[in-house]
């Protein structure tokens, strides 16, 4: 498998060996499918869980 850049911070994600977040969302501009590194995935989860 080839590496990918985190959509948010640009760090390299290697799907075969790294933990990562896969985001598949229907947003206002259409469908958004991106990979995020573990840290950016945590920050997104925290943001979405905020009250």
Q: Would you call 18 helix, strand, or coil by DSSP?
A: coil
Q: Give the tokens for residue 28.
A: 């206002």
pLDDT on residue 47 = 92
User: Rounded distance, CA 7 to CA 11, Å?
Assistant: 8
Q: Are 1 and 35 in contact (CB under 8 A)?
A: no
Question: pTM for the complete prediction?
Answer: 0.76
What's the pLDDT tens digit per position in 1-48? 788 899 999 999 988 888 888 888 888 888 888 899 999 999 999 998
pLDDT on residue 51 = 57
């Amino acid at each position: 498998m080839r590496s990918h850049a985190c959509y948010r911070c640009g760090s390299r994600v290697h799907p075969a060996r790294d933990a990562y977040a896969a985001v598949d969302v229907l947003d206002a501009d259409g469908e958004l499918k991106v990979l995020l590194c573990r840290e950016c995935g945590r920050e997104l989860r925290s943001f979405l869980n905020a009250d």
